[in-house]
Amino acid sequence: MEDNDLNKSCSEDNDSCKDLFNKIINTKTEESSNLPNNGLVSKRQFHTYIQDSNQLFKYVNANEINIENNLKQTMGDIDEKHKQIVINKNLINKISTNYLNDLFFNISQGEDTFDYNKFQTYYNSTINEIKKGFYNIDLDKDGFIKLQDINKYLTNLDIIKQNETVNKPSFLRWVKNKKPDALPEEPGYDQDYKISYKEWESFLIFVPRHNNSRLRTALNIYSNINQVQALTSNTDILNRFKMDEDLELDQLTTELGKRPVNKGINMEGHAGITDTKKKQDATIAESTDSTDTDATFKEHFNKDSLKYFLAGGSAGVISRTCTAPFDRIKVFLIANDKTLHVSQVLRTIYKKAGLKGFYVGNGLSAMKIFPESAIKFGSFELVKKLIFPNSYQNMKDNPLGNYLCGGIAGCMAQLFVYPIDTIKYRMQCEDVKYSSPNSSAKSPISIKKIIKETYKQHNNAGIRNFYRGLPAGLTGMFPYAAIDLGTFNLLKNIASQYYFTEDTKIEDRHLPNMVMLPLGAISGSIGASIVYPINLLRTRLQAQGTFAHKHTYNGFFDCASKTVKREGFKGLYKGLLPNLVKVCPSVAISYFCYENFKRLLNLNA
């Protein structure tokens, strides 16, 4: 390896960190020139240092000057009031200000100043991420990033896919020379152009990390500045500004917004989001009658979302079939008033129906679990897109969003499959006629028996009979699904930070199967334990009046009261152990299959 910077020791990294901190804290400003060094860096000091030393800010500032010159040149002798409106409120000025504020906030952890310890924390984590990213881009591992390396890597980034006009050689020159000019078109020149790790580190050390990538942030800023500069060179629009003294900046940006823009550029969440930019985006949306947004949503739903539904449904069927015996034991324990040991339940079920007795209701379970699991997983992805359209692919910085979307998705699935659930529980709790080997049917469950039970329940109390315990079901389902999906995705994001670099594409972030299994087991067991009493009461409401549970109730609270009166508070947790024995492998298998089906269907991890 020609460049040894990647192999720096921890002590060398600490020395570099101290040197950099000393440069920042010794930066003189008007407010600090007469003050003693107290070991704290102020926002003004930090801003001043970055303005003088960092190439990303220099590029932002240089383009701000270029745009100012374009406006002055085109407008001529326009009065000072309007000139200041344009120059002082333009987009580039906002980009640079927010960029610096974001950086300072990350280092100071929300305080007005930061000391060496806070800076060292930022520095060490940033250096580790930059090193991982450099290794990921450096294809031949020679210690340099060359044009072919950056070409291949950037082409795979979403922003490049959506914005083919980005001049990658120019971007590379910016990194190395602090100049965004395009490379000379000399034969072989591009191929020999390369960046060392030290240059790469110097470029990215003070770039905010948005959407899990500093490089993506830099590329977004680079693209947006070029775009704004091109738009402000439009003489037709700026001449209108010159002729109309009442035309303010918002109207100017409205006109700019009607010009063709790069749809792939999204400054939301990046150092440059401004009120003006939001207004521009709103104007673009109005001018196109939202057809682009609608088309994008429909395309997402038709192609990707249906695949999520298919992957979720298939994973649910496989998981439920593997764990059907545990479910059978759990229902038997919940429905029975007597305190039975699991071994007694096993003997009773086997004596009545043999091995197939442990799969009573599994056919109906599969009919129920496919739409339930499909709706749960598919709705989870869809709800994320609807509620968090700008960050649904990467919810690392919004874990509560995953919990909220998980709860909503679980309730949607529960509403759809609740009648099937009711029939299944009642058939599992019915007399020996549904599980005895002497049954006339070859299988404990048949379509004929399902239809017969459906008619029976409908004739007893109509449609309402299928939704007994629904409020309790939804009350239990929301926290369960929220905890299950939210915790799994939280653990998955934590594991992903360990296994993947910041620049690994979202669609490539598939964790190893041996990691996926315990993550699913942990999230499922936590959720199931918390909401178990609610689910027990719901199951008893659904199974009331059957052979295994002859008691009847007037509602959820009546069921809770009678259960506690008969069995004490521990009765609310009857069957918890076999339920956890079933839930842990069930949820683990479900997530294991779902993640692998997503990979098979080329869906984002």
User: Using one digit for the tens of pLDDT, what is the confidence trace for 77-112?
Assistant: 444 444 443 443 444 455 556 667 777 887 887 788
Question: Going by C-beta distance under 8 Å and a sequence separation of 6 or more, which residues neighbour residue 288?
Answer: none
Q: Which residues pair with 41 in a beta bridge?
A: 114
Tens digit of each residue's pLDDT (9 = 90 or more) over 346-399: 888 888 778 877 877 777 778 778 998 999 999 998 888 888 765 555 566 677
pLDDT score at 224: 61
User: Which range scores top for mean pLDDT: 72-81, 249-258, 382-391?
Assistant: 382-391
Q: How far is Cα 129 from Cα 112, in angstroms, rounded to an integer? A: 26
**Pair of tokens at residue 496:** 């992903």
- Cβ–Cβ under 8 Å, residues 337 and 422: no
Q: Which residue has the tokens 């009773």?
A: 348
Q: Is the dihedral of CA 394, 400, 404, 410 positive or negative?
A: positive
Tell me the average pLDDT across 115-125: 86
- Give the ranges where 110-167 is alpha helix by DSSP (H): 116-137, 147-155, 158-162
Q: Which residues pair with 114 in a beta bridge?
A: 41
Provide the angle, in degrees to the nearest 10, between the axes of the packed helices 116-137 and 214-231. 80
Question: Going by C-beta distance under 8 Å and a sequence separation of 6 or more, which residues neighbour residue 498?
Answer: none
Select the more confidently predicted residue: 435 or 211: 211
Phi, psi of 500 (to 5 degrees): -125, 155
pLDDT score at 33: 54
pLDDT score at 251: 46
Phi, psi of 145 (to 5 degrees): -100, 120
How many angstroms separate the most distant Cα atoms in the chain? 101
pLDDT score at 49: 79
Give the three-state DSSP class for 196: strand
pLDDT score at 85: 39
Helices and strands (H, E) in the chain, number of each type: 26, 4
Query: What confidence tier does 58 reach under pLDDT thresholds 50, 70, 90?
Result: low
Q: Read off the pTM.
A: 0.47
pLDDT score at 36: 57
pLDDT score at 295: 45
**Pair of tokens at residue 505:** 């594409």
- Cβ–Cβ under 8 Å, residues 224 and 271: no
- Give the ranges where 141-274 is alpha helix by DSSP (H): 147-155, 158-162, 168-177, 189-192, 197-204, 214-231, 235-243, 249-257
Alpha-carbon distances, residue 367 vs 63, 194, 208, 370, 426 (angstroms)? 61, 58, 49, 6, 15
pLDDT score at 176: 64
Select the more confidently predicted residue: 107 or 265: 107
Tens digit of each residue's pLDDT (9 = 90 or more) over 282-312: 433 343 344 444 444 554 555 667 888 999 9
pLDDT exceeds cutoff 70 at 423:
yes
Give me the chain's average pLDDT, please.
Answer: 70
pLDDT score at 590: 93
pLDDT exceeds cutoff 50 at 599:
yes
The DSSP call for residue 354 is G
The domain limits of the chain are 5-287, 297-600
- Give the ranges where 439-469 is alpha helix by DSSP (H): 447-461
CATH fold, domain 297-600, is Mitochondrial carrier fold (1.50.40)
pLDDT score at 230: 52
pLDDT score at 528: 85
Tens digit of each residue's pLDDT (9 = 90 or more) over 304-330: 678 889 999 999 999 988 888 877 887
Q: Which of 47-51, 166-170, 291-295, 306-310 has the lowest mean pLDDT?
A: 291-295
Give the three-state DSSP class for 461: helix
pLDDT score at 310: 92
- Cβ–Cβ under 8 Å, residues 183 and 289: no
Determine what percent of the chain is predicted with pLDDT higher than 90: 7
pLDDT score at 77: 45
